[in-house]
Amino acid sequence: MGAADVIYYTFHLLELRSIVQWKIWHHPVHEREKDKESVSLKVCFDFLDQTSRSFSAVIQELHPELLIPVALFYLILRGLDTIEDDMTIPIEKKDPVLRDFHTIIEKEGWSFNGNGPDEKDRELLVQFHYVTEEYRKIKPVYRKIINEITRKMGAGMADYCKKAAEGKVGVETVEEYDEYCYYVAGLVGNGLTQLFVESELANPALNERPQLQKSMGLFLQKTNIIRDIREDRDDKRRFWPREIWSKYVDNFEDLFNPAHQEAALNCSSEMVLNSLNHADECLFYLAGLKEQSVFNFAAIPQSMAIATLALVFRNPDIFKKNVKMTKGTACQTMLDSTQNLSKVCQVFRKFVQQIRKKNTAKDPNFLQISIACGKVEQFIETIFPSQNAESAVRQKPPETEAEKKERLEARWDIIYMLIFVMGVLLIMSLLMIGVAWYVGARFDLVFTEVSEGNWRSLGKDHARKMAQKYDRGEL
């Protein structure tokens, strides 16, 4: 934690408390049995940590029945995505690899070293034989699911890359945008659902609701596309559909011009609206997950997505840099998402209300965004009806000893955090003063001048006079 973080959390103690709670008091539902893992499986988990720490953490807390299949599923799709994203691979070489990736993963000893030297996950493909080795060990039913999703995703990615190679830059229509998001994320939701149901850790009815599975993936992917617009633009990629941005600016680059900021914000509002329309179906899907670790695995990314959506809504910074939520907000969101559906609904309601609060009548999407927010809140209300103030006071039971104890502990937690932060600042200040004294700072002279009433005139000129006054000529 740097100096800037110390200063920030000095004034945001509740966020600091959330970080401490997550680090100290979060206990995984399940833990890996590392001593029973093969060498190749340990390598796979090392790559999982390297490619995505956030996803790695929730994957490694999954039920033992799903831990390895889901981890390998993620690495296989990450390998596929790494090939698709690499602009240094010519389409003649990229297309067949993407389309045949589902057969390649069945081969023993396959690896790929055709990525550019700067590709972040290049090493995963160089040592991909470890992934395929473990993939061949999992249950045939899980292999079949992973293979089929890989086949569909590879074909979809290849089609998109072929269009890009033919000179078609960016996504044109909202329909094409949905199709792209389905191939890179919606199919993942479909595959994970099949794994959840096959392992008997989710309601089989979820397999009969493909729209819910699709929404789980599209909500995440669309939110990431909104957040990453600056990064994608710098990489010469465009995922915001022309059908949307052309309503607000003549050229895509105008979105990044401060002179068109209001138009850019209105455009981003419609993108947020497009993503927000999936939120209620995500909550519906989460209601069908029976096992706690599976629920946590699915709920955390969705909660982080709605929090990110609130962060990027009408936020001009997304056109200047990659915007991220603070670590304290992320930890609090994860804490609230690892309990039950009621808590997750509270998370969604909180951030939807933030979007509603930031919504402005000047935005041409004002009414539709208000309706979308109301739709999410209404869905939550149908599952967990709220009480009005009068009935809540009338029906509220007296506070139990446990609740009173928890309330007092929360209050003392904040006090302890404040003491800790002030202590750190005091120690750092004393260390800095001590170092200054050790290298020759004359604090006695400053004290003398201040005691003589000269503190108002301290400056460069006065410093020279002090130097002449106390110069003894030893040097």
If pLDDT is split at 50, 70 and 90, which confidence band does 242 have?
A: very high
Choosing from 74, 180, 248, 351, the catalytic residue is 180
Cα gap 329→459, rounded to integer Å: 43
Count other Cβ atoms within 10 Å, centred on residue 64.
11
Residue of 122, 136, 209, 237 marked active site: 237
Give yes or no for residue 475 having a pLDDT over 50: no
356 is catalytic: no
What CA–CA distance (Å, rounded) separates 66 from 192? 10
Residue 17 vs residues 13, 329, 409, 416: alpha-carbon distances, Å: 6, 10, 12, 10
Instruction: Among 32-36, 220-224, 392-396, 461-465, name the one with the lowest average pLDDT.
Output: 392-396
pLDDT for 306-326, tens place per residue?
999 999 999 999 999 989 888
Catalytic residue among 227, 238, 314, 349: 227
- pLDDT reading at 239 higher than 60: yes
pLDDT at position 458: 53
Give the CA dihedral 63, 68, 74, 80, nearest 10 degrees.
-160
Please confirm, yes or no, whether 130 is among the known catalytic residues.
no
> Is residue 416 among the annotated active site residues?
no
Is 379 a residue whose pLDDT tops 90?
yes
Q: Which residues contact 268 (CB under 8 A, 6 or more apart)?
A: 226, 229, 312, 313, 314, 315, 318
Residue tagged active-site, from 183, 297, 313, 351:
297
Give the pTM. Answer: 0.78
Please, what is the Cα angle at 445 between 444 and 448, to 5 degrees?
85
Q: Pick from 335-339, 369-373, 450-454 the range whose average pLDDT is largest.
A: 369-373
- Whether residue 237 lies in the annotated active site: yes
Mean pLDDT of the chain: 86
Identify the pLDDT of residue 96: 94
Provide the pLDDT confidence category of residue 391 given band limits of 50, 70 and 90.
very low
Phi-psi region of 440 (alpha: psi -120 to 50; beta: other; left: phi over 0): left
pLDDT band of residue 389 (cuts 50, 70, 90) is low
Q: pLDDT band at 95, cuts 50/70/90?
A: very high
Instruction: Tell me the average pLDDT across 80-100.
Output: 91
Report the pLDDT value the prediction gives residue 229, as an integer from 0 to 100.
Answer: 95
**pLDDT (0 to 100) of residue 31:** 85
Q: What is the mean pLDDT of residues 263-278?
A: 97
Q: Which pLDDT score, from 0 to 100, does residue 251 have?
A: 94
**Residue scoring higher pLDDT (443 or 126):** 126
- pLDDT average, residue stretch 190-218: 93
**How many Cα atoms occupy the beta-carbon half-sphere of 445 within 13 Å?**
15
Q: Is the pLDDT of residue 390 over 60?
A: no
Classify 167 in phi/psi space as left (phi over 0), alpha (psi -120 to 50) or beta. Answer: left
Task: Quickly count: other Cβ atoms within 10 Å of residue 27's Cβ.
Answer: 8
Residue 466: pLDDT above 80? no
pLDDT value, residue 423:
84
List, for residues 41-74, the tens digit of each pLDDT value: 999 999 999 887 778 888 999 999 999 999 999 9
Mean of pLDDT values over 129-145:
95
What per-residue confidence (pLDDT) applies to 170? 80
pLDDT at position 264, please?
A: 96
